[in-house]
Amino acid sequence: DTAVSQTPKYLVTQMGNDKSIKCEQNLGHDTMYWYKQDSKKFLKIMFSYNNKELIINETVPNRFSPKSPDKAHLNLHINSLELGDSAVYFCASSQGAVSSGNTIYFGEGSWLTVV
Amino acid sequence: ILNVEQSPQSLHVQEGDSTNFTCSFPSSNFYALHWYRWETAKSPEALFVMTLNGDEKKKGRISATLNTKEGYSYLYIKGSQPEDSATYLCAPPTGGFKTIFGAGTRLFVKA
């Protein structure tokens, strides 16, 4: 039973399209995240929701919009896709603040390719 | 925290070798340090979380130490096996729910 699951795993789409990546966690965690693996392979945080409230919103183009319908779901919608959006996007969750020692649990990633 | 450095970037060892790598981070405003193991095409998985200076954690053949005063952590693997091949990430939180991930050390273990 996958703890953090995200769909689709692979997505190839054309520039200008709008696409969504869905994420669900069955760990009962209060906090969910979206991370992007950049071109240098670093994991960079994009957004975080705690109890459905947006708590982290990094410098991300406003074409990216997260939505959390409930604590177990955090979806990522991307408008007007650009070539530079091609990356691997990871959904994750944690029970509480990582600075308090709570572990982040990651999904398997969604490989987005914009052509 | 401005910068997390991991060294070496990559490491090739033979099966049975013991190895270690380093994570360096600014020592001010320390909260915790997480180590993750990331196999290709899979999701990063937590290995250890350490919070206190001098902490030592062990899981099987893998262990880690923490020095918060000088800002470094070591990860050791004893008797490396091919299944240990992965990228090892360290991640010190910057406060609250934010974490900065290092670039990782990519370990290749040859049978």
User: If pLDDT is split at 50, 70 and 90, which confidence band does A75 have?
Assistant: very high
- From the list B31, B34, B101, the residue facing A42 with the nearest CB is B101
CB A39 within 8 A of CB A58: no
Give the tokens for residue A44: 């960079």
Determine contact: B95 vs chain A, CB below 8 A. Answer: yes
Give the tokens for residue A93: 């969750």
A6-44 burial string, b = 16+ CB within 10 Å, else e?
Answer: bbeeebebeeeeebebbbbbeeebbbbbbbbbeeeebbb
pLDDT digits (tens, 9 = 90+) for B75-111: 999 999 999 999 999 999 888 888 889 999 999 999 9
How many residues are there in chain A? 115
The neighbour count for residue A55, using CB atoms within 10 Å, is 15
C-alpha closest to that of B25 among B95, B85, B96, B93: B93
pLDDT digits (tens, 9 = 90+) for B6-24: 999 999 999 999 999 999 9
pLDDT digits (tens, 9 = 90+) for A18-30: 999 999 999 999 9
CB B101 within 8 A of CB A104: no
Contact B97 A50 (CB under 8 A): yes
On the question of pLDDT at A1 being above 70, the answer is: no
Which B residues 14-53 touch A at CB under 8 Å? Answer: 31-32, 34, 36, 41-46, 49, 51
| CA B111 to centroid of chain Cα atoms | 23
